[in-house]
């Protein structure tokens, strides 16, 4: 309903019904109190003149008014249901009009018995009661209109009928004032509706805000996939434990990582993977001794074991958990079997991240052992971790161009008896004194996200120091695993080569089998992008990893480099020679070149030549040296090269 146009109609809806009832509950009792007072005053004034029957009407009116006043007390109204309040408001409109008529009729019945003073009192009492009634029902406009009509029409008609000298003036004044009061009531009702609409809007917004806050809280603390705790919630719980007293009962933090989960996703689909995660989450929660758990992300879970466990007890609990996870998981008729590695650490330290770091170090160690191993972080692990943290901070903070140097090892062509290529080998130093090989610092570069920067720096410095456009040498650099799959890396490296004045065809990019394992499809696509830019591609350490021969067919390769472990057995192991010969023959049929590294003796070199390999690299031909020394041997020509490497 609207308060504009249909001015006196009250708004519908539960919210407005409650608002009207509350407003009336604060006004109606006072209005009925005024009626009671006026009735008693009039009855007392007319006690000597009016008949007893007329005077006995007063107690009836008082009782009715008192009962209605009690009915509308705020405390009683607050406890009633909406339907009852709606019924009360409708009844008030009807009873209010009839009550006003009864009061006016009783007053008019007393009028003939009064003297002039008593009659003036009746005029005053009726007027005051009417004004109070209309203003008291300002937030119930339909009732206010009924009250105004019930008071004004009978009283004005009666005054006009009495022949009072000022009857017309009195009636006009009463009608005019009543109209003014009703107009004020309309304005008050309009403002009341606006205020109530604003309050309802504010309430809706507060409710929406509360719902949004609740949704945000769930989103912030509940893992959407498993329904358990998420990373933030489990770490917050750990922080609460760390904030408490160190009474030797702090929980054990366990990091659990599923092995074989990627195989489930790839083979059975992501729906199967989601089912596995939910099942694993349920099994963890059902384990005795688990006080809290949650998924950190991917297939990794964090678990808080009871702090009352000692080292042996928590290891036993972890073994029980590992056994529970190994139980088959059924999905759409398929039986899925997985296991997981667990890293444990007693929650100690300044923050949850400190505990997480140590549990993660234990997990990494467990995954290296394989077969669902369980490792508890110990004192020796702390020493190794602190050293790794120190080196990582040094690596992360240093300017690589100031802490990096390159050594170059020649690649010798036995047919032409000369150096045809050199491989750049990076060395990094935290202090300029001790220099570390890539095997020591490359994992740190990967952890700090600086492998791309490292690769670009090595490429630019190799080109600047070796100048392949002048020497005619091919230069080789190694690509980190992230570089193999990083979007845009091919274009970036090609720009570096062109800016240096060289051609990408003079650069051999060496990638390892391990770098291709994480995302083979993406790695293959990126290698094709490198080939499109003109780079040449070599598969390094072939034979050291999983060594699928199908790679030689599927990957865009120019060369394979046999691993040094395979090379070491060539001179003495017929089986190694047979495998190497098969690889060389297959590579030759596919149009792929073949080289060998780690050659340390003439016997190994002779065995490699007998198998058709003519590109060799190793200490037998030359050690890694700075660019000046490496290029000096090359510049002396084939004969000098042969002497230098023999």
Q: Rounded mean pLDDT of 562-583?
A: 83
- From residue 213, alpha-carbon distances to 208, 234, 236, 311 in Å are 8, 19, 18, 41
16 within 8 A of 196, measured Cβ to Cβ:
yes
SS3 405: strand
Domain ranges of the chain: 14-205, 231-377, 399-645
Q: Indicate the CATH number for domain 399-645.
A: 3.20.20.450
pLDDT recorded at residue 148? 78
Confidence of residue 476 (pLDDT cuts 50, 70, 90): very high
Q: Is the dihedral of CA 483, 446, 514, 325 positive or negative?
A: negative
pLDDT recorded at residue 543? 67
SS3 642: helix
Taking 70 as the threshold, does the pLDDT of residue 548 lie above it? no
Taking 70 as the threshold, does the pLDDT of residue 646 lie above it? no
Highest mean pLDDT among 14-28, 238-252, 321-335: 321-335
- Any idea which fold 231-377 has? Alpha-Beta Plaits (3.30.70)
**Residues 506, 470: Cα–Cα separation, whole Å:** 11
**Residues 528, 509: Cα–Cα separation, whole Å:** 12
pLDDT tens by residue, 93-131: 778 778 888 888 888 888 888 888 888 888 888 888 888
Q: Rounded mean pLDDT of 168-191?
A: 78
pLDDT recorded at residue 503? 93
- From residue 380, alpha-carbon distances to 341, 344, 396, 559 in Å are 20, 14, 24, 42
**Residues 388, 367: Cα–Cα separation, whole Å:** 18
pLDDT recorded at residue 247? 67
The residue with greater pLDDT, 590 or 193, is 590
Confidence of residue 235 (pLDDT cuts 50, 70, 90): confident
Taking 50 as the threshold, does the pLDDT of residue 64 lie above it? yes
DSSP 266: H
- From residue 500, alpha-carbon distances to 43, 295, 468, 475, 536 in Å are 115, 48, 10, 13, 17
pLDDT recorded at residue 1? 37
The answer, as to whether pTM is greater than 0.85, is no
pLDDT tens by residue, 502-525: 999 999 999 987 777 767 788 888
**Residues 545, 539: Cα–Cα separation, whole Å:** 11
Q: Rounded mean pLDDT of 211-218?
A: 72
Buried b (16+ CB within 10 A) or exposed e, 287-304: bebbebbbbbeebbbbbb
Highest mean pLDDT among 4-8, 304-308, 479-483, 507-511: 507-511
Q: What percent of the chain has pLDDT over 70?
A: 93
pLDDT recorded at residue 197? 79
Taking 90 as the threshold, does the pLDDT of residue 530 lie above it? yes
SS3 92: helix
Confidence of residue 324 (pLDDT cuts 50, 70, 90): very high
**Residues 376, 460: Cα–Cα separation, whole Å:** 44
Buried b (16+ CB within 10 A) or exposed e, 18-40: bbbbebbbebbbebbebbbebbe
Residue-averaged pLDDT of the chain = 83
pLDDT tens by residue, 441-474: 777 777 778 888 889 999 999 999 999 988 889 9
Taking 60 as the threshold, does the pLDDT of residue 375 lie above it? yes
Confidence of residue 279 (pLDDT cuts 50, 70, 90): very high
Question: H or E segment at 331?
Answer: strand 329-331
In sequence order, which residues have a C-beta less than 8 Å from that of residue 552 and are 6 or more positions away? 539, 560, 586, 587, 590, 592
pLDDT recorded at residue 587? 85
Question: H or E segment at 423?
Answer: strand 418-428
Q: Rounded mean pLDDT of 124-141?
A: 79
């Amino acid at each position: 309903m609207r308060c504009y146009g249909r001015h006196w109609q009250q708004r519908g809806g539960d919210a407005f019904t409650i608002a009207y009832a509350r407003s009336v509950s604060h006004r109606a009792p006072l209005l009925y109190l005024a009626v009671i007072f006026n009735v008693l005053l009039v009855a007392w004034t007319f006690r000597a003149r009016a008949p007893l029957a007329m005077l006995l009407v007063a107690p009836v009116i008082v009782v009715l008014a008192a009962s209605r006043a009690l009915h509308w007390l705020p405390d009683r109204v607050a406890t009633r249901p909406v339907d009852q309040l709606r019924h009360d408001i409708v009844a008030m409109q009807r009873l209010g009009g009839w009550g006003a008529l009864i009061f006016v009729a009783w007053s008019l019945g007393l009028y003939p018995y009064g003297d002039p003073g008593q009659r003036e009192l009746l005029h005053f009492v009726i007027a005051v009661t009417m004004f109070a009634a209309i203003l008291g029902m300002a937030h119930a406009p339909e009732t206010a209109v009924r009250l105004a009509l019930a008071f004004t029409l009978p009283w004005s008609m009666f005054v006009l009928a009495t022949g009072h000298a000022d009857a017309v003036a009195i009636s006009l004044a009463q009608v005019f004032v009543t109209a003014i009061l009703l107009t004020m009531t309309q304005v008050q009702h309009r403002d009341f509706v606006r205020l109530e609409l604003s309050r309802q809007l504010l309430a809706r917004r507060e409710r929406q805000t509360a719902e949004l806050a609740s949704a945000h809280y769930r989103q912030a603390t509940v893992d959407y996939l498993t329904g358990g705790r998420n990373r933030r919630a489990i770490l917050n719980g750990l922080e609460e434990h760390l904030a408490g007293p160190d009474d030797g009962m702090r929980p054990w933090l366990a990091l659990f990582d599923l092995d074989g989960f990627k195989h489930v996703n790839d083979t059975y689909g992501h729906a199967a993977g989601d089912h596995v995660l939910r099942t694993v989450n349920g099994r963890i929660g059902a384990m005795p001794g688990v006080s809290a758990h949650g998924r950190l992300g991917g297939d990794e879970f964090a678990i808080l074991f009871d702090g009352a466990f000692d080292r042996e007890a928590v290891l036993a609990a972890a073994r029980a958990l590992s056994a529970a996870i190994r139980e088959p998981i059924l999905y759409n008729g398929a039986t899925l079997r997985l296991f997981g590695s667990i890293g444990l650490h007693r929650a100690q330290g300044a923050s949850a991240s400190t505990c997480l770091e140590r549990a993660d170090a234990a997990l990494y160690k467990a995954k290296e052992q394989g077969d669902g191993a369980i490792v508890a972080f110990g004192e020796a692990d702390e020493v190794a971790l602190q050293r790794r943290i120190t080196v990582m901070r040094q690596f992360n903070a240093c300017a690589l161009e100031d802490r990096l140097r390159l050594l170059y090892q020649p690649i010798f062509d036995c047919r032409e008896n000369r150096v045809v290529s050199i491989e750049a080998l990076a060395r990094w130093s935290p202090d300029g004194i001790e220099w570390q090989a890539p095997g020591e610092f490359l994992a740190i570069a990967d952890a700090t996200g600086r492998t791309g920067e490292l690769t670009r720096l090595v490429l630019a410095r190799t080109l600047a120091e070796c100048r392949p456009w002048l020497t005619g040498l091919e230069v080789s650099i190694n690509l980190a695993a992230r570089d193999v799959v990083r979007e845009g890396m091919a274009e970036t490296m090609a720009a570096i080569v062109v800016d240096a004045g060289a051609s990408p065809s003079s650069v051999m990019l060496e990638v390892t089998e391990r770098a291709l394992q994480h995302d083979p499809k993406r790695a293959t696509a990126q290698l094709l992008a490198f080939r499109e830019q003109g780079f040449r591609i070599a598969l390094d350490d072939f034979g050291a990893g999983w060594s699928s021969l199908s790679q030689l067919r599927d990957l865009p390769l120019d060369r394979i480099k046999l691993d040094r472990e395979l090379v070491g057995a060539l001179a003495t192991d017929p089986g190694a020679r047979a495998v190497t010969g098969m690889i060389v023959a297959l590579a030759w049929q596919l149009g792929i070149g073949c080289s060998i590294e780690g050659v340390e003796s003439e016997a190994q070199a002779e065995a490699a030549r007998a198998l058709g390999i003519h590109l060799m690299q190793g200490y037998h031909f030359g050690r890694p040296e700075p660019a000046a020394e490496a290029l000096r041997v090359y510049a002396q020509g084939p004969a000098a090269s042969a002497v230098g490497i023999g």
